[in-house]
Structure 1
Amino acid sequence: MRKAYPIIISKVDDTVPFSVYIPDFDAYTQGEDIADAINMARDLIGLTGLAMTEDFHQEIPLPMSVKFKLKETDTLTLVDIDFDKYKRENDRTPVKKTLTIPSYLNTLGVEKKINFSALLAQALRETLKV
């Protein structure tokens, strides 16, 4: 379910380069530059939407469901998000896997106190470039 939400980007001061307000979620974030502000807004929308559905059993608000006013210095843009894809990409639920390795590697790994699960996860992230 891909949706596009309005966000309001404001230049506050030099200590916080860009402030972002997401009216439909009544939420704020910030970014170092415009691209970072958009990415931070997308992440906040994703996290908030998932928390609403999974933790609080609420529906995710529809885009542009809230009226808002812009100041003259504000920039209005849209941020798209696919909640299903966001959930898949951020799901950290452990999954048990059975694998086979040569006995000597197992022996050496145990002697060196290697965390096999962490090593496999690291190798998969590197191989999959995620």
Structure 2
Amino acid sequence: MKDHYVFPAIFEQEDKGISIEFPDLPGCLPCAGDLETALSNAKEAMLLHLFGMEEDGEEIPEPTPFDQIQVGKHQTLVLVEAYMPPFRAKQHKRFIKKTLSLPSWINAEAEHAGINFSAVLQEALVEKLRLQK
């Protein structure tokens, strides 16, 4: 099991949007209405597909070399990258305990306001790292 994967994907422009195919990952077939969403959907679908293969004990193939893939007239070859550790952790919904420091006056104000420190830290990290929930 590797932590980092890069697989080629074929993006095909169609009338209703973009369809995506991963030649090395049969059944991983996301789609999107525009290029930005297509890139995001391709990565998310590949992460889910690889995670499912890992969970099922399937062997993950080596990616076909970029220069060995033929594309058609309305197709573009795109390399999609997946870093598995944070995705795996998110799928298992495992929590870890962190110790942090903050000024006592902020702590007092936050406790008085009934702030959930864990929720605020999670929301701030998701925003800061531009992650999807």
Query: TM-score with structure 2 length normalisation?
Result: 0.64
Shift of the alpha carbon at 1:116? 0.9
- Distance in 2 of aligned mates of 1:37 and 1:103: 46
Question: Are residues 22 and 111 of structure 1, via their aligned partners in 2, closer, same or farther at CA, if it must alter by over 3 Å?
Answer: same
Aligned residues with identical type, % of pairs: 27
Q: Which runs of 5+ in 1 are unaligned?
A: none
- Distance in 2 of aligned mates of 1:112 and 1:124: 21
- Distance in 2 of aligned mates of 1:4 and 1:11: 22
Q: Which runs of 5+ in 2 are unaligned?
A: none
- Distance in 1 of aligned mates of 2:103 and 2:6: 50
Q: Aligned pair 1:87/2:89, yes or no?
A: no
- Distance in 2 of aligned mates of 1:69 and 1:60: 22
User: C-alpha root-mean-square deviation of aligned residues, in Å?
Assistant: 3.3
What is the total number of aligned residue pairs between the two structures?
120
1:89-108 superposed matches below 5 A? 89-90=86-87, 91-92=89-90, 93-101=94-102, 105-106=106-107, 108=109
Greater C-alpha Rg: 1
Counterpart of 1:56?
56
1:1-130 superposed matches below 5 A? 3-13=5-15, 16-26=16-26, 27-53=28-54, 55-64=55-64, 72-81=72-81, 83=82, 86-90=83-87, 91-92=89-90, 93-101=94-102, 105-106=106-107, 108-125=109-126, 128-130=128-130
Shift of the alpha carbon at 1:107? 5.0
